[in-house]
Amino acid sequence: MSNLKEILINKKICKSVWFMRQAGRYLPEFREIRSKNKNFINLCLNSELSSEITLQPIKRFNLDSAIIFSDILMVPYALNQRVDFVKDKGPILEEFNFKKFLNNDKISFTQKLFPIYKAIQNTRKKLDKKKSLIAFVGAPWTLLIYMLGVKQSKEKINYKKIKDKEFEVNLILDKLNNYLCTHIENQINAGADVVQIFDSWAGLILPEDLPNYCYIPNLKIVDFCKERKIPVICFPKGINEGYKEFNNVVKPDGINLDYDIDPVWAKENLLNVVLQGGLSPKVLLLSDKEILQKTKKYLDVFRELPYVFNLGHGLIPETDPDKVKKLIEFYREY
């Protein structure tokens, strides 16, 4: 085991494993809590339960890092845009009001998210000091997609709406950046020691718009973190070979690979950065033999590089916890 913060800072070749969405719906202990707490926003704002959920996979699997149980959409919520999580539909946000958005301030924003910071404090007290506690934010572009309600499917957005309001969009991205940096600083002050930036919908950006909508917003947050010596991992999901330019421009401490990135290509093209993840979460739905074969491919490619074992997206609800346990054991024995 090695501390994630130490790996990111020193780019050491060490064993470290954690999973995105490791505290979530695939765990029976989480489902028990969730069944009694129907409102997802309220659950994220319950400091005691949020901390308990964060620690569930640590207790079960002894993973090397905990990631605080929360959601990227807590930021729009704190900016006074109503957010509802509807079963089988996902998050639904009320219609965006530009004037209302501009009327926000950092004091009320911080107050609305205070229970998250309290949950981080609670978790840090209970977590082994050798283990990292990961805070996270959604990247400005990804939050914008939800806030403007432009997502039409997993592969398509109403791009015309964004281009027609380009001045307004750029102002929203800039303002979001400021609030996200505040949220990061508050989480670090509460006890987190690593930050991951999720740009989950970066793959929906046209190639010519990647600098403006993806690289620059992520760069601003990464620079903010570096000025404060906060180790930062970026996850620009879906941008394919744009990963290379992203890494060269943004220069994060770590970069999470999605499952469409060929690990050999990543090894050859993503330099001076700690690589993380890559394995498809759907692999965990296969037989034990197939899981270990596909896992070994990643481990063989990255064995001589600083690499954090993770997935190319979050664990999915259908995952059998026993398969997760076997995967972790295989990784550690490897």
Judge whether 332 counts as a catalytic residue. Answer: no
Judge whether 34 counts as a catalytic residue. Answer: yes
Q: How far apart are CA 219 and CA 215, in angstroms?
A: 6
* Per annotation, catalytic residue among 25, 84, 209, 223: 25
Which residues lie below 8 Å from residue 279, measured CB to CB, with a gap of 6+? 259, 294, 295, 298, 310, 311, 312
Helix (H) or strand (E) holding 308: strand 307-308
Judge whether 117 counts as a catalytic residue. Answer: no
Q: How far apart are CA 311 and CA 242, in angstroms?
A: 19
* Per annotation, catalytic residue among 34, 223, 259, 331: 34
* Per annotation, catalytic residue among 71, 193, 253, 258: 71
Side chain identity, residue 40: F
Per the DSSP assignment, residues forming a β-bridge with 275 are 255, 307
Judge whether 105 counts as a catalytic residue. Answer: no
* Per annotation, catalytic residue among 77, 117, 146, 213: 146
Per the DSSP assignment, residues forming a β-bridge with 134 are 67, 194
Judge whether 303 counts as a catalytic residue. Answer: no
Alpha carbon 152 to its chain's center? 22
CB 181 within 8 Å of CB 224: yes
The residues assigned a catalytic role are: 21, 25, 34, 71, 146
